[in-house]
Structure 1
Amino acid sequence: MSRLSREQWASAALDALSSGGLAAVAVEPLATRLGTTKGSFYWHFGGREELVQAALQLWRQASTTSIIERLESGDAPASERLRQLFTQVFAPPARTDADLALLADADHPLVASALADVTEQRLGYITALFRELGFSPARARRRALLAYSTYLGQLQLLRTAPDLLPKHGPARTAYADDILAALLSDQPAKRA
């Protein structure tokens, strides 16, 4: 049996969190699932809280930081980066389950802190895109809040009434495009 890495443990913890909430991040079941012992866990972590923190950091990287980095790696204009962002977040990746689970456990101090940090990172990025499109700082922040509120509303619909949302393909793209069109409906004219 090969030794598991810290990242493999964190990834398994994030998978457990995504499917069963914070309560599912338990060392013994994870060790069994990974085909290892609790000793492997204690080689990398001082306790469950440290594992939860590592899983939350992995979630932040996968669900926010890497998406922003990918969008910023090209030379697409802000409107296209917003469209790509909306198309991606309104066609949920696997990590959307983690967002749902974390929102359900938002009263836990570690989760609350991670959610606050990620929310601010996401809002900051969306605000910056609206600023690039010519919105004043205050209007850009309001538009970002509206966009993010729409995302959170979609997460709630995924939990309570998933059949209301378009599943994939052209209908999903049209849904994202309609949201973006509403958010850009009174975009300031570009200055030459």
Structure 2
Amino acid sequence: MHDTPKQVWIDAAYTALTTSGVESVKVMELAKSLSVTRTAFYWHFKSREALLEELIQMWEDKNTGNLVRQTEAYAENISEAVFNIFDLWISDELFDSKLDLAIRYWARIDEALQRRLDDADKRRIAAIKAMFERHGFTPVQGETRAMTIYYTQVGYIAMEVSESVDFRIARMPEYVGIFTGRPVDPSAVERFNARHGIRNSA
């Protein structure tokens, strides 16, 4: 029926994309999974490509948009600024690693998407670089440290590293020290731990 909400189709397409790849995002298969006719799809989308564009836009808005916003969030010092970025790696609400990985796989067979992915990567790195510069780092230092932070996380995503949240949070102060090359501000550690429900962490 045509009263199947648009978001239901997007959610079903998201699940297919992140579990089986873009080739599995097919109108007929989605309709079957939702127990509706394929005609219902066209009440919301002109074509399969329109649905795929919704997924890409969701990825750009959430992952790139939130990353840039986190780099621009208030921070008393560079320690707190990097912890703001680390919030992304802890919260699925801020950054969707599964979707990021699925987009990277998809881009391998879609040149137009690869260009958008390249632009997104550049925008993300530029935002982190600018964050470092605001905290007194030179452009070269900022760019190098931005690439180090970003490529480390992309590697985590690509390798599908499985760690508990507590394990990652416990080591994040060490990462901050490595990425900034400066002593880690204890107050920034406390604030980061507090917003993630960690108490009495060293």
Sort the TM-score into its range (normalised by shorter chain). Answer: 0.7 to 0.9
Compute the displacement of 1:127 (Å): 1.3
Name 2:121's counterpart in structure 1: 119
Query: Given that residues 16 and 25 in structure 2 are in contact (C-alpha distance below 8 angstroms), is that contact kept between their aligned partners in structure 1?
Result: yes
Runs of at least 5 residues in structure 1 that lack an aligned partner in the other structure: 188-192
Compute the displacement of 1:82 (Å): 1.8
Compute the displacement of 1:149 (Å): 0.9
Name 1:51's counterpart in structure 2: 51
Partner residue of 2:156 out of 146, 154, 157: 154
Following the alignment from structure 1 to structure 2, what is the Cα–Cα distance between the partners of residues 32 and 149?
39
The change in CA–CA distance for 1:118 and 1:4 in structure 2 (over 3 A counts) is farther
What secondary structure sits across from 1:76 in the alignment? coil
Following the alignment from structure 1 to structure 2, what is the Cα–Cα distance between the partners of residues 39 and 182?
54
TM-score, normalization: structure 2? 0.75
What are the Cα deviations for residues 47-84 of structure 1, in whole angstroms up to 9, with x where unaligned?
Answer: 22221111111122222313543664x53335323213
Q: How many residues align?
A: 179
Partner residue of 1:167 out of 164, 168, 175: 164
Following the alignment from structure 2 to structure 1, what is the Cα–Cα distance between the partners of residues 127 and 22?
27
Q: Quick one: percent identity of the two aligned structures?
A: 27
Q: How does 1:31-180 map to 2 (within 5 A)?
A: 31-69=31-69, 72=72, 75-77=74-76, 79=78, 80-89=80-89, 91=90, 93=92, 95-107=96-108, 108-158=110-160, 162=161, 166-169=163-166, 171-180=167-176
Compute the displacement of 1:12 (Å): 2.6
Name 2:20's counterpart in structure 1: 20
TM-score, normalization: structure 1? 0.78
Following the alignment from structure 2 to structure 1, what is the Cα–Cα distance between the partners of residues 77 and 165?
24
Query: Given that residues 71 and 128 in structure 2 are in contact (C-alpha distance below 8 angstroms), is that contact kept between their aligned partners in structure 1?
Result: no
What RMSD, in angstroms, separates the aligned Cα atoms of the two structures?
2.6
The change in CA–CA distance for 1:128 and 1:11 in structure 2 (over 3 A counts) is farther
Name 1:190's counterpart in structure 2: none
Compute the displacement of 1:100 (Å): 1.8
Runs of at least 5 residues in structure 2 that lack an aligned partner in the other structure: 184-202
Q: Work out which structure has the larger RCO, using CA pairs closer than 8 Å and 6 or more positions apart in sequence.
A: 1
Query: Given that residues 14 and 56 in structure 1 are in contact (C-alpha distance below 8 angstroms), is that contact kept between their aligned partners in structure 2?
Result: no
